[in-house]
Amino acid sequence: MLGEAAVWRPDKPTPTADQVLADPRYAMYLAGWPRHGDYGLVAERDGPLGAAWYRTYTEASHGYGFISEDVPELSIAVVVSRRHEGIGRRLLVDLITASIAHGYPALSLSVNGDNPARGLYESVGFVPVEKQGSSWTMVRHAAQSN
C-alpha cells in the first residue's frame, strides 16, 4: 500500500514492498511501525484492498506533508483493481474520525497537484495550505463540520 501511495500514477509500475522500504523518502512513513501514536485502518476482502494510516513526525525528521509535530500526516492507497468503489473515501472518513477521537487537532497530507485524490480530500474538508514543487500540503482541522 505504501508503494501504491508513493507511485500513484496508474500507468507507472508499483514498487514492491522491499523496493519502497529501501527508499528513505518513503520508508519513513512506515519504518518501525507501530510507533507510539501510529494508527491505521486496512480494508480487506480475501486479502488487503486498501489502507490508510497516520503518524506524527518531528521538525528534524519528516515527510512531504509535515506541518507540525502534533499534527499527524496521513497516507492512503487502494489497490488499482478496486479503486472508485468508495473504499478510499470510507478509509479516509474513518481515519479522520479516529484522529479526532485520539485528540489530534488536525491531519495533514501531501498530494501531487495532478492527482485526482485531491478532490477526495477537499470533499472531506482538507484545504491546501502550501505548495512544494508539484505537490500540495493540505490540512483538515478537527474543529470543522465537513
106/79 Cα distance (integer angstroms): 26
Strand order in the sheet with 39-44: 39-44, 48-55, 73-78, 106-112, 135-141, 127-132
Whichever of 106 and 111 has its CB closer to ligand COA, that residue is 111
Cβ 125 to ligand COA shortest distance, Å = 14
Q: Binding residues for ligand COA, per CB under 6 A?
A: 4-5, 8, 76-78, 83-89, 109, 111, 115-117, 119-120
Whichever of 137 and 143 has its CB closer to ligand COA, that residue is 137
Whichever of 36 and 84 has its CB closer to ligand COA, that residue is 84
Cell of 78: 487502494
Q: Tell me which residue of 108, 125, 126 sits closest to 68, measured CA to CA.
A: 108
Cβ 123 to ligand COA shortest distance, Å = 7
